[in-house]
Structure 1
Amino acid sequence: MKSCFYLIIYFLIIVFTNACVPDGPDAIDVLDLVYTNFDPSYDFGTPATYSMPENVILIDRETVENPGTTPPFADFIISQAILDRIRSNMTARGYIQVNEFNDPDLIILPSITDGNRVFYEYDWWFWGWYYPDFSPVWDWVYPGYLPAAITSVETGTVLIQMTNPKELTSENQIPVHWISVINGIVSGSTGDNANRIVRTIDQAFVQSPYLTR
């Protein structure tokens, strides 16, 4: 997983560098970057249902430094805009949303980084308050990567993970079959945020044609 995020950092550095040079872009949305990755061995046509929390969490430095605490939630309008767009795309791909206690085939976990280039280890405990039958000994496992990721991303970056709760391994790892990192889209005015959220989350699904039934 570290390799995955090092690639993300590379692209983000390019974006941030270009933003600082003279005669750079006039609008921040020009810098929007959508990264996706997936497990090519997983059949996304098999699962039929998914669940998703009612709020998007914020990952800030305080949350990172105090593991086990419930993360704060994002602004309601922003949170619902993200969830609604994910839901719209999942519905269009043939998936049905259910409650997390109704045995979903997939669980989608959206979060936003809050703070100036937060360094964090994206780990299980961010979701202990939500994930069904949660156990503190669990860990995520990403296809082809180490299970832990430590990196620095821009404030307002949206991270979306798609896990499979039914495939807990003997090592207490939950597979993450799809991931999307959307660079710094939560910034500026509410109207601008909404437009960028719609456009970039749609792009994440456009980049992921395998996500369909």
Structure 2
Amino acid sequence: MTVKKLHCLAIALLAVAVSSCEKEPSTSDLHRDYLVYTAHDTAINFAQFDTYYLPDSILIIGNANKTEYWKDANALEIVSAVAGRLNAAGYTRTQDKETANLGMQLSYVRQVTYFVGYDNPYWWWYYPYYWAPGYWGDWIGWHYPYQVYYGYTAGSLLMEMVDLEADQTPGRKLPIIWDSFIGGLLTSSESLNQQRTLTAVEQAFDQSPYLNK
């Protein structure tokens, strides 16, 4: 065997030895960071809106066969954080859904995975316990005036702003004029999950300055 071949063999054996001793990465590292994504209808002037309606609960999207809502102290803290940022942006929260200019709906993905594509406007159609358009009025579905494609996994928060002043003629879909997807929130610590969620909510509004009136 030539010196060159011996040298190559030595390098190969060293690489195998190093890789065999290398510690496997911890799966907890997969949740070290989170993602905050926001999008909006660029044709909308948000200064035209004054009031909004925000339910005191967060819809849970999980594996249950019935509609679930998250209503504990943590959920109310998240709802309060969203309301606080909307108030700071110049909007007024109202308890009268019928007179509100805007609607805010919050959803939390617990233990399932969904993929959302712009090509299918009824992207939650096969999940019967998602926010129904009828909650906001006589609408036949949802409409996104901008391109949307997400992958939802466990520990994701979805915030959506709907235009309640949109033309509600028969056959019209309710437009969602701003939305935020926050992913990677789930860790083994409940308190850390909550803190990451609150921080991510703040980040979603920080990166959406057009919402300020």
Name the TM-score class by shorter chain. 0.7 to 0.9
- Opposite residue 78 of structure 1, the aligned amino acid is N
Larger radius of gyration: 2
RMSD across aligned positions (CA): 2.9
| 1:17-96 alignment runs, 5 A limit | 22=25, 26=29, 28=31, 30-62=32-64, 71-74=67-70, 76-96=72-92
Structure 1 unpaired stretches of 5+:
1-20, 64-68
Alpha-carbon distance in 1 for matches of 2:134, 2:78: 18
Query: Which one of 100, 106, 118 corresponds to residue 104 of structure 1?
Result: 100
Q: Once the two structures are superposed, what CA deviation does each residue of 1:128-156 show, in whole Å capped at 9, x if it has no partner?
A: 498243x4x5211111348xx7x642112
- The 3 A distance-change label for structure 1 pair 23 and 128 is closer
Residue aligning to 1:209: 209
Q: Once the two structures are superposed, what CA deviation does each residue of 1:78-132 show, in whole Å capped at 9, x if it has no partner?
A: 3112201101111111111002434101000100012142457335962349824
Structure 2 unpaired stretches of 5+:
1-23, 117-122
- The 3 A distance-change label for structure 1 pair 81 and 190 is farther
Conserved 8 A contact 2:63-2:112: no
Alpha-carbon distance in 2 for matches of 1:127, 1:116: 16
Conserved 8 A contact 2:37-2:181: yes
- The 3 A distance-change label for structure 1 pair 168 and 140 is farther
Alpha-carbon distance in 2 for matches of 1:196, 1:83: 14
Question: Which is worse superposed, 95-104 or 173-182?
Answer: 95-104
Conserved 8 A contact 1:112-1:156: yes
- The 3 A distance-change label for structure 1 pair 106 and 140 is same
Identity %: 24
Alpha-carbon distance in 2 for matches of 1:187, 1:52: 27
Q: What is the aligned residue count?
A: 181
- The 3 A distance-change label for structure 1 pair 168 and 156 is farther
Structure 2 length normalisation: TM-score?
A: 0.73
Conserved 8 A contact 1:60-1:118: no
- Opposite residue 47 of structure 2, the aligned amino acid is G
Conserved 8 A contact 1:52-1:109: yes
